[in-house]
Amino acid sequence: MSKQINVALIGNPNTGKTSVFNALTGLNQKVGNYPGITVEKKEGICKLPRGVKAHIIDLPGTYSLNASSLDENVVIELLLNKNDKDFPDVAVVVSDVENLKRNLLLYTQIKDLEIPTILVINMADRMAYKGISLDLDYLEEHLKTKIALVSTRKKQGIDRLKNLIFNYKDLSIDHCVDLTEIDPTYFDNLKKAFPNQLLYKLWLVITQDVNFGKTDRNEIDAVANFKTKSKIDLKRLQQKETIKRYQFINNVLKKGQTIDIASAKDLRMKFDRILTHKIWGYAIFFIILLTIFQAIYDWSSVPMDFIDSAFAAMSEWTKTQLPQGAFTNLLSEGIIPGLGGIVIFIPQIAFLFLFISVLEESGYMSRVVFLMDRIMRRFGLSGKSIVPLISGTACAIPAIMATRNIESWKERLITILVTPFITCSARLPVYLIIISLVIPEGRFIGLGYQALTLMLLYLIGFGTAVISAYILNKVLKIKSKTFFVVEMPNYKLPLPKNVAITVLEKTKSFVFGAGKIILAISIVLWFLASYGPGENFNDAEKITKKEYANQHLSAEELHQKIESHKLEHSYIGLTGRAIEPLIRPLGYDWKIGIAIVSSFAAREVFVGTLATIYSVGSDQEETIKNRMAGEINPILGGPLFNFASGISLLLFYAFAMQCMSTLAIVKKETNSWKWPILQLTIMSSFAYMVALIAFQILK
């Protein structure tokens, strides 16, 4: 077995942990979740001299070891559990040179756990600008450790950090603060009761309400609260401890750090004033959102078209080059289009995250949160939910992935759950064709009815999302600390490397996470659409040829008739027929039923499926429309697509959860099947109810 040093990167949010992590590991990293919870876990490998490797974990940002959120629990549980396979041989506490005092609190706590701890003082490039200078020797001596002064931006200090990690055995494990000084009797007694345990660790177990693995909490509790200490007393002791830590830090910094304010003061305040302004702030944000949205739409359409035709060509090629048979069909009609259905999302995901990470990196996102929080919070959402909600108009997949930036689990979950209500671009072809069929062309105060209907559908989607969020906020009983942005980070030019890694990682996590599910379901759907029971399916060609024997159809027309017959008798076709009694009260027939069932692959498939059933080429839009207009309702008579059934269908598509890719990404992001299944059932039953009511009233 090769030697591996376990390294944990710990620090306050925004100190540059992830940047240090990226600098150490480059692309040798993987992102997962901590078991059972949805806190992101990033780990990677850093190569050190002489073949030694360091296994590095980028822990969630935390202000102290006093846990108040899921993220912070992760940190404490790891640090207290020596048996955890990730238990660090050495902790690297990352601090930001501009906020040393606040950052060092966590440092002193970790140091007191007797874990060898290296202090990284990051953002060294800001020192001159802020007029800060440090006496590193003095700091190392009094903080009882080695310090790496780093600028990930200027790529400075990383080699020294690697060196310190390599030599971690030389680090001292002396404490910063002596607890017994705070309350000698109490702590001496505690020490006597558990002579083999680390005092500070005991103290953390007593004061924190987290899961500590093997440490027997009850036993400690029984001894620790003996006679003398009430809950309030303990809280007071904790406060004393914090004060003590700050005294220690202040003392060290008084000599170790000098700040010359004369050289500081910057543009930042001016920027802040505009960007969080009551009017300009919103206006600027709105313009930025529109640009992003437009970009996801426009810029991705080129690569998306390319991907689309590339996979179509690949499919065609396989079909013509490989011997005919079930396997070739599976490959050319099931697997290749299935893979295409995954790859097609990559441009949108990449562009969205390019923008998001630039916004985050630059420090602007914190201003957005500040700006939007007040409004969004009323609905149980976070200021950051606005980005997923808006991106949802392009596609729910990247939008749901974008919720990762929301720190509070509850707000994030709510955003994930309501985003699919937003009108995504896949609904557009369905809306457009139905609207053109059932909504008259007239005008109302200068606006076309058809355009108004489309706009209404967008508003309905957005409104439903917001209202559902409000309800979910009341219903969901999830304890989750709302994240307060204590201070706004400085504006910074985004580090291209950080941006690139984010984009790459999100894309990878989509392709390998949700991609598997999407591929599996598309193969199943393909199978259901291409196979059927009995001779009606198997002899489709014979039957159709016989039926149209004396009609002199062209080869093309005959082929379309055969395809239509096949689809009708395939498993999907049979499902469509089977659900007819269920959807008849909504004003639909079995053909629409088939189109709805196959829409589960992607909503826009609706039009193509109808085209196949009506045996017309799917590229002949006018013909499809004419065929649709000519359809007769088998029960009620009159046109099948009339105002009532049209509105019913529009509303059904607005609300129903008909997208397997979205379900796959929700599964991936929530780490459980519970939420996508709830989403599927609740949204679809709601859609059914609304469509039913609409049709019954309007018919």
Element (H, E) at 199: helix 199-207
Give the shortest CB-129-to-ligand GDP separation in angstroms: 9
Q: Which of 366, 450, 498, 522 binds ligand GDP (CB under 6 A)?
A: 498
64 binds ligand GDP (CB under 6 A): no
Beta bridge partners of 149: 121
195's CB contacts (< 8 A; 6+ apart) are none
- 37 annotated ligand-binding residue: yes
Give the shortest CB-59-to-Mg ion separation in angstroms: 9
> Which string of x and - marks every residue 152-191 that binds ligand GDP (by CB under 6 A)?
xx--------------------------------------
Give the shortest CB-73-to-Mg ion separation in angstroms: 17
Q: Which tokens in the block code for residue 431? A: 């809306």
Question: Distance (Å, rounded) from C-alpha 530 to C-alpha 573?
Answer: 10
Q: Which stretch binds ligand GDP (CB under 6 A): 494-502, 542-550, 619-627, 665-673?
A: 494-502
Using CB under 6 A as the binding rule, the residues of this chain from 72 to 131 that contact ligand GDP are 122-123, 125-126
Positions that interact with Mg ion (CB under 5 A)? 18
Q: What residue 126 binds from ligand GDP, Mg ion, none (CB within 5 to 8 A, per partner kind)?
A: ligand GDP
Burial 614-638 (b: 16+ CB within 10 A, else e): bbbebeebeebbebbeebebeeeee
Give the shortest CB-116-to-ligand GDP separation in angstroms: 21
- 127 annotated ligand-binding residue: no
Question: Distance (Å, rounded) from C-alpha 644 to C-alpha 665?
Answer: 34
How many other C-beta atoms are found inside a 10 Å radius of the C-beta of residue 215?
17
Q: Which stretch binds ligand GDP (CB under 6 A): 9-17, 33-41, 105-113, 607-615?
A: 9-17
Question: Distance (Å, rounded) from C-alpha 131 to C-alpha 128?
Answer: 5
670's CB contacts (< 8 A; 6+ apart) are 38, 413, 416, 676
Question: Distance (Å, rounded) from C-alpha 75 to C-alpha 89?
Answer: 15
Cα torsion 525, 565, 337, 349: sign = negative
Looking only at the bridges linking them, the beta strands covering 90-96 and 40-47 are unpaired
End-to-end distance of the chain based on CA atoms, in angstroms? 74
- 6 annotated ligand-binding residue: no
- 12 annotated ligand-binding residue: yes
> Which string of x and - marks every residue 309-348 that binds ligand GDP (by CB under 6 A)?
----------------------------------------
Question: Distance (Å, rounded) from C-alpha 235 to C-alpha 179?
Answer: 14
Give the shortest CB-58-to-ligand GDP separation in angstroms: 7
Q: What residue 149 binds from Mg ion, ligand GDP, none (CB within 5 to 8 A, per partner kind)?
A: none
Q: Is the CB of 11 or the CB of 532 nearer to ligand GDP? A: 11
13 binds ligand GDP (CB under 6 A): yes
Q: Which of 6, 14, 64, 670 binds ligand GDP (CB under 6 A)?
A: 14
Q: Is the CB of 125 or the CB of 308 nearer to ligand GDP? A: 125
Question: Distance (Å, rounded) from C-alpha 532 to C-alpha 578?
Answer: 14
Give the shortest CB-501-to-Mg ion separation in angstroms: 11
Burial (Cβ within 10 Å: 0-12, 13-18, ≥19) of residue 552 = exposed
Q: Is the CB of 146 or the CB of 404 nearer to Mg ion? A: 404
Question: Distance (Å, rounded) from C-alpha 70 to C-alpha 428?
Answer: 39
Q: Is the CB of 9 or the CB of 413 nearer to Mg ion? A: 9
Three-state SS at 37: coil
Annotated binding-site positions for GTP: 11-18, 36-40, 58-61, 122-125
Annotated binding-site positions for Mg(2+): 22-23, 25-26
Report the interface residues with ligand GDP, using CB under 6 A. 11, 13-19, 61, 122-123, 125-126, 151-153, 361, 492, 494-495, 498
